[in-house]
Structure 1
Amino acid sequence: MRIATVNVNGIRAAARKGMAAWIESSAPDVMLLQEVRADEETAAALLPGYTSVVWPCRIKGRAGTAVAVREDGSLALGEARYGVAAPGTEEPDVDSGRWLEVDLLPSGAGEGAKEEPALTVVSAYLHSGQLGTEKMDQKYAHLDLVDARMAALLARAADGGPQVLMAGDLNVVRSAQDIKNWKPNHNKIAGVMDEEIAHLESWFASGWIDVARSLAPEEQGPYTWWSQRGQAFDNNAGWRIDYQVATPALAGRAASARVDRAASYAERWSDHAPLVIDYTD
């Protein structure tokens, strides 16, 4: 089972720039997409060979998450849940289009089937934030909601429920190992603040596994995002902010991980690169 997560930075633009060639060569069984910035019909048309569910942001042209599975694969889409907040308590400016939770069923069960999910996946797009602004307040509010949901999902898996993979653009590094320029950014810019990092570390302390890091504990990076400014991509001055975070039993099935970094700046179809992990049956 190959699972890929990537912030597409607008699925229409990604399609124009070559996303389809990457999908064909990588052939993920499951794709978790962020910053889709399109409605479900538009996104589905750009993902031939896949069945997808999309949660657009209520603000047109922003955020948006999607989950897609191969039409000829072993998994099918089941129940989808939209948003990390409890129903009736949503905060649209905080949560809209940022957390799409989907149960995956054995292929043939069909959407809406009562069969126990084979796996629950989450496509997550956490806020980037900006220090000293309302955007940072929204980021911390969303992280608080995510903390509570992560605890509930972990407890459900431990109680015999389906294993869970939460993946996406989390917009936070964990340490100097995850960013080229740690010292000039640490506690000076959103994404590298100790208060943000503490949220992620609380998940891993409770039992969640950072799958890519578990497979490469000593490696610098590998980075998944590079600023569009200057020569960041050419100099590999990147950030590791795209993750696959799994419950322990699922993480134990991870066999290999890679970042599909474009060969050159001109060949990029997003400012992020896909994080691709293969899991054994």
Structure 2
Amino acid sequence: MPRPLRIASVNVNGVRAAYRKGMGEWLAPRGVDILAIQEVRAETDDLTALLGAEWNVLHDAATAKGRAGVALASRRRAEIHRVELGPDDFDSAGRWLEADYDVDGTIVTVVSTYVNSGEADTPKQVEKYKFLDAMVERLPQLAAHNPLSVIMGDLNVGHRTLDIKNWKGNVKRAGFLPQERAYFDRILGAEGEPDYNAGAGLGWIDLGRRFSGEVAGPYTWWSNRGQAFDTDTGWRIDYQLATPALAAKARSYTVDRAASYDERWSDHAPVVVDYDI
């Protein structure tokens, strides 16, 4: 039986800092075939030098130097890649990168995305809604382009109360606002719908929830403040959202949470999924 395709996604919070803290030691033995990176915050040359010659790298840097930035690194070259999202006057630079990969004759489309963090009742939140609008508009087009597609990255929204440890204290904060969560209702279906995460909404599948079930978390981000990591007071805001056809090929889902606070190399944990292609 052939080895599954292993796809991982992580917000590195600055790839140079992540490598100084141990990202390379995580990646080297992990067997990742395609890696989506968010918040690169570095130049393409920096990224390729850190990853090494065995990786083929696509990088969409942010318009503002040292901010955001998304990348895709693969053991194989992309057949084609795209960075456009939303209307012509919308700046998505550093936040959306698509690529088509030929996996033994089967094309798999992968998106690395970094949704704006936002801030309630400020222009930052307006920009976040613009991005989410553009993303929701792109999803049906992407599924039509290739029924084997996955969108992954730091989406900066906890969809359900299960996705945030202290959800009651965050209902008025960006990341858990009702209007933000409604976008995920449109993508996956709303909590309580008969076909939630099984064809409701736009039909995409949240693999984290499908594999983990109706449990708290598993969280993927923890504030660096206080004892959030040690007490597992986290947020599940990093996703792999797959089309139904690709979701059916998913074999396993793992959050690579560090063993201790001192061993972390980002405030996010990688999300790793194996697919039988």
TM-score, normalising length: structure 2: 0.91
The one-letter amino acid paired with 2:31 is A
Structure 2 counterparts to residues 44-63 of structure 1, below 5 A: 44-48=48-52, 49-63=54-68
**Match of residue 226 from structure 1:** 222
Do 2:152 and 2:239's aligned partners in 1 also have CA atoms closer than 8 Å? yes
Equivalent residue letter for 2:270: P
Q: Is the 8 A contact 1:83 1:97 kept in 2?
A: no
Per the alignment, residue 26 of structure 1 pairs with: 30
One-letter code aligned to 2:160: S
Supply the AA of the counterpart residue of 1:152.
Q
Shift in Å, 1:154? 2.1
Contact 1:117 1:162 in 2 (8 A): no
The CA deviation at 1:162 is 4.7
For 2:235 and 2:213, the matched residues in 1 are separated by 16
1:111 is matched with: none
One of 157, 171, 177 as aligned partner of 1:193: 177
Contact 1:173-1:197 at 8 Å conserved across structures: yes
| Whole-angstrom CA distance in 1 between matches of 2:161 and 2:118 | 20
* 1:225 counterpart SS class: coil
Could you tell me how far apart the structure 1 residues matched to 2:159 and 2:86 are? 24
Q: Does 1:203 align with 2:192?
A: no
Work out which of the residue numbers 132, 138, 143 in structure 1 matches 2:132.
143
Aligned equivalent of 2:231: 235
TM-score normalised according to structure 1 size: 0.89
SS at match of 1:31: strand
Q: Which runs of 5+ in 2 are unaligned?
A: 189-200
Q: Is the CA contact 2:147–2:246 (under 8 Å) kept in the aligned structure 1?
A: no
Question: Out of 149, 158, 169, which is 2:154 matched to?
Answer: 169
Q: In the alignment, is the contact (CA less than 8 A) between 1:78 and 1:117 conserved in 2? A: no
Alignment gaps of 5+ in structure 1: 108-115
Residue aligning to 1:10: 14
Amino acid at match of 1:192: F
Matches within 5 A, 1:68-147: 68-70=73-75, 75-86=76-87, 89-92=88-91, 95-106=92-103, 118-147=107-136
Amino acid at match of 1:122: V
- Given the alignment, which residue of 35, 42, 45 partners 1:38? 42
Shift of 1:26: 1.4
SS state of the match for residue 74, structure 2?
Answer: strand
Instruction: Name the amino acid aligned to 2:102.
Output: L
Which amino acid is 2:135 matched to?
V
CA distance in structure 2 between the partners assigned to 1:39 and 1:100 by the alignment: 16
The number of aligned residues is 260
Q: Which runs of at least 4 in structure 1 moved beyond 6 Å after TM superposition? A: none
CA distance in 1, matches of 2:208, 2:165: 17
Code of the residue aligned with 1:180 in structure 2: it is: K
CA contact (8 A) 1:178 1:221 kept: yes
Matched-pair contact (CA < 8 Å) for 1:259–1:275: yes
Partners of 1:58 and 1:28 in 2: CA distance: 29
Match runs of 1:270-281 below 5 Å: 270-281=266-277
Cα distance in 2 for residues equivalent to 1:3 and 1:180:
26
Provide the identity percentage: 48
8 Å CA contact 2:155–2:237 kept in 1: the answer is yes
How big is each residue's C-alpha offset from its partner over 1:174-201, in whole Å with a ceiling of 9 and x where there is no partner?
1111110011112x10000110011112
> Aligned letter for 2:86?
A
Rounded to whole Å, the distance in 1 between the matches of 2:26 and 2:275 is 19
